[in-house]
A and B are shown apart, each in its own frame.
Chain A
Amino acid sequence: MSATTTNPAKPRSLNIGRLLLEGRAFFALIAIIAVFSVLSPNYFTLSNLLIMSSQVAIFGILSIGMLLVILNGGIDLSVGSILALSGVVAGAMMQGVEIDAMGVILYPPVWAVVVLTVCVGAAVGAVNGVLVAIFKVPPFVATLGVMYVARGIALLMTNGLTYNNLRGSEALGNTGFNWLGFYRIGGVPISVIVLAVVAIAAGLMLSRSAFGRWLYASGGNERAAELSGVPVKRVKITVYAVSGALAAVAGLVLASQLTSAGPTAGNAYELTAIAAVVIGGAALTGGRGTVRGTMLGAFVIGFLSAGLVIIGVSSYWQTVFTGAVIVLAVLMNSLQYGSGARKT
């Protein structure tokens, strides 16, 4: 059976099966949209699609970072916590940074808050990367630890409370934080545009840059990549740092949408991000996966749960459905990768 799939000459009927299998996330999305459009007249309207998309954006941004890590053969469990920590860091900066020695309170402008927050996310991600690449801690354990530490720091910073006033004030010159979450350009929410920019940049990087090739190679076979001159450690640290930075971006978007930043935000978001990547056809063993697939995966999850809300299904059932979709996706992944390809 294993040899059949490696055989280039295949009967036509198999190709249709193959097409369905490879485009499964796409067909699943079409099916979800079709079913809910029939069930609810409000589902397939432009305004609802945009609202759903802005909700998907947060998971989408997280899952692109997750995709990079998974392509490398790793996993990043800390993104939900980094998201919360970033929100809290941004919130703290919006409240003003008090410098005791000079007796002043600094109110950095919003752009500086954004840049610094993303840097914090990248730094936490880089800690993951260094633990995994240099100290050889298994990714699951390293990011699990960082998950707890980041969440703990976020709780310590706020004493468990939430920053509610993120609007800034005219007088302090730090208004505009809610721009990310509320403004629209040409009717499209900023968060969706951010997602699109991140996705396109990541897609180009993966398919067209040397770094993308390094990433696929080191995820597919790290030893071979290393012997071919790929700086595998640098690649590894970079993907975790990028994942952290994207988690910070998602944290900013979420804080902006809610105009509040709490230390408990983003709980278990890492699992949704992993689910999106897996539904998108990436292999958890590394080396296989695309941004397009991951985006489809994120939209499948987002549109499915939004649709269930719209038709009034209990949120407990949503959890069941989401779980079923994930298992089904992994099942199909093993159909696609399990039997073929491996020939010695």
Chain B
Amino acid sequence: MSAQVVLAARNVAKSYGQVHALKGVNFDIHRGQVTTLFGENGAGKSTLMKILSGVIQPTSGQIVLDGQPVAFGNANDARDRGISIIHQELSLAPNLSVRDNIFMGREIMGPLGVDYAEEERQTRALMEELEEQIDPATPVEDLRLGQQQIVEIARALSVDSRILIMDEPTSALSASEVEVLFKVIRDLTARGVSIVYISHHLEEALTITDHAVVLRDGVMTAYAPRAEIDLEWIVRNMVGENYDLGSPPDSAKGDVALSIRDLSVPDATGQDLVRGLNLDVRAGEIVCIYGLMGAGRTELLETVAGRLRATGGQIVLEGHEISHLSIGQRIARGLALVPEDRQRDGLVQTMSVGQNLSLASIARFTRGLFTSTRAERDLVDDSIRRVTVKTSGGGAPIGSLSGGNQQKVVIGKMLATNPRAILLDEPSRGIDIGAKAEVFRLLAEGAKNGLAVVYSTSEVSECLSIAHRIIVMHKGRITAEFDSTVSKDRIMAASGESQAA
């Protein structure tokens, strides 16, 4: 474990005005090993990574590369010294081919312009090295997300990166794609490449890392090699207290609030993504839908909410058939959806925190022709309190919030409509543990007050928290149904990922 330190941060601090994002952090990256950075949203992980990769400059402190203090002027500077970063959002041009993406901005020039043949040869070599069957001429948009990730990695390798920083590389990957990525990471480390890894998926990160660094509020709270740590250690250092995603609330179960009968949803080509699905959820009950990517969870929830049209079946809310209603009418009847991708489907980035919170319940503060400023403010303040959004107030821009708080805004927006049943598609995606626990606490609270809750997840441990009932979906069907005492293994086996576990 005493591998050579290639890159180190010495007492690095970064301030934005009065806000101290990082306060004197020390941090080592070892040659040929994986160092994982744990921390909640806003703990300073991304800031630290941006400093190490030259995207931003530290306010004070030093970066030491191979024992020599260095200062990176910009990201290209760092890249020239072998440090590459793969951002959470991939930076590929979807319309261009794999080859063109890999050599974007550094095209190999021959006497007659770009030497495509040479670029293609090098791309092929890279793909072979990564053991991926991707043709260099394939447009990136035709690749699966996991393969796109591979292309990003190939691009980083093509500039001979010795240090590769990955910011949440697995958040959009399926279990099998994660396996591929981990294999690539192991190959890379075997070749002496150092990896810095950031992930919210703790169990996953533990399987790959050699060192763990925990950041909290801009300070490094703990550091240890893999052999000395476990999941509990990380969580304890991340949140600083005992952490628990909760247990099923002992709410009184009422009548069936939401009933899905024989529902089928087609994809663009007319094939059924969801096939003849039946599900009843009672008031006060929490149901977790577990499944892999492509299992049809998102399609199911979006159809129930009204975004997609079903080819057959019924959706009954409190005894009324609602499948012919618009999204707005369904919301008015008491059915709310918190979508999976909060940036794309949940938030209006141009509006403030308050306007986002009140967006789904405008009718509640409209008097005649006009909206009532006071009624809206009351509703916004009430929502902020109810879902505990950490913000300077309803007027703050939505972009000023951390991921977890943004998610709470989306949930708060839908709770403000006073729903009878709420659907949440991957409510924990991309948010930290503290926020996760709070989201689940909110759901449990809602259920106690008679709300029917359905949420989907791809993390088994989240199913085993507050859900009374666990539904496993596989290829558009319900393949198993468990109560809250089930074991992880049985859930995973039913979802068809036993080999990946």
Given contacts A208-B370, A344-B89, A220 and B350 within 8 Å (CB-CB): yes
Residue of B307, B347, B350 with highest tally of chain A CB at under 10 A: B350
Q: Which residues of B contact A217 (CB under 8 A)?
A: 348, 351, 355, 359
Q: Which residues of A contact B327 (CB under 8 A)?
A: 226-227, 229
Given contacts A223-B345, A287-B351, A343-B400, A7 and B17 within 8 Å (CB-CB): yes
Taking the closest CB of chain B, its distance from the CB of A197, in whole angstroms, is 16
Q: Which residues of A contact B355 (CB under 8 A)?
A: 213, 216-217
Q: Which residues of B contact A334 (CB under 8 A)?
A: none
Binary per-residue interface labels of chain B (368-410) against chain A in the complex, 1 for a CB within 8 Å, 0 otherwise: 0111010000000000000000001000110110010000000
Residue of A nearest to B401 (CB): A343
Given contacts A6-B400, A229-B327, A343-B399, A219 and B370 within 8 Å (CB-CB): no
CB <8 Å contact, A342 and B349: yes
Given contacts A3-B16, A344-B89, A229 and B331 within 8 Å (CB-CB): yes
Interface membership of A230, Cβ < 8 A = yes
Interface membership of A268, Cβ < 8 A = no
Residue of B nearest to A285 (CB): B350
Instruction: Give how many B residues have a beta carbon under 8 Å from the other chain's beta carbons.
Output: 46
Binary per-residue interface labels of chain B (317-342) against chain A in the complex, 1 for a CB within 8 Å, 0 otherwise: 00000000011111110000101000
CB <8 Å contact, A344 and B348: no
Q: In the complex, which of the residues A210, A223, A341 contacts B397, with contact meaning CB atoms closer than 8 Å?
A: A341
Residue of B nearest to A218 (CB): B348
Residue of A214, A228, A343 with highest tally of chain B CB at under 10 A: A228
Given contacts A209-B370, A210-B371, A214-B362, A4 and B348 within 8 Å (CB-CB): no
Residue of A nearest to B345 (CB): A223
Q: In the complex, which of the residues A3, A6, A230 contacts B359, with contact meaning CB atoms closer than 8 Å?
A: A230
Binary per-residue interface labels of chain B (56-68) against chain A in the complex, 1 for a CB within 8 Å, 0 otherwise: 1000000000000
Interface-lining segment among A8-16, A19-27, A308-316: A8-16
CB <8 Å contact, B331 and A228: yes
Given contacts A213-B359, A230-B359, A208 and B371 within 8 Å (CB-CB): yes
Query: A230–B306 Cα gap in the complex (Å)?
Result: 12
- SS of B interface (majority): mixed
CB <8 Å contact, B19 and A224: no
Interface membership of A92, Cβ < 8 A = no
Interface membership of B18, Cβ < 8 A = yes
CB <8 Å contact, A227 and B350: no
A-B pairs with CB below 8 Å: how many? 114
Interface membership of A231, Cβ < 8 A = yes
Binary per-residue interface labels of chain B (221-236) against chain A in the complex, 1 for a CB within 8 Å, 0 otherwise: 0000000000000000
CB <8 Å contact, A220 and B348: yes
Interface membership of B366, Cβ < 8 A = yes
Q: Which residues of A contact B359 (CB under 8 A)?
A: 213, 217, 224-225, 228, 230
Residue of A nearest to B347 (CB): A224
Q: In the complex, which of the residues A8, A216, A223, A286 contacts B400, with contact meaning CB atoms closer than 8 Å?
A: A8
Query: A248–B16 Cα gap in the complex (Å)?
Result: 51
CB <8 Å contact, B350 and A219: yes
CB <8 Å contact, B400 and A210: no
Q: For residues 1 through 37 of chain B, which have their beta carbon under 8 Å from a beta carbon of chain A?
A: 16-19, 21
Given contacts A4-B16, A7-B17, A209-B370, A227 and B339 within 8 Å (CB-CB): yes
Residue of A nearest to B330 (CB): A229
Query: A79–B365 Cα gap in the complex (Å)?
Result: 34
**Cβ contacts A to B, 17 pairs, < 8 Å:** A4-B16, A6-B400, A9-B17, A9-B18, A208-B371, A213-B371, A214-B362, A220-B349, A221-B344, A227-B307, A229-B328, A229-B329, A229-B360, A229-B417, A283-B350, A341-B350, A344-B403
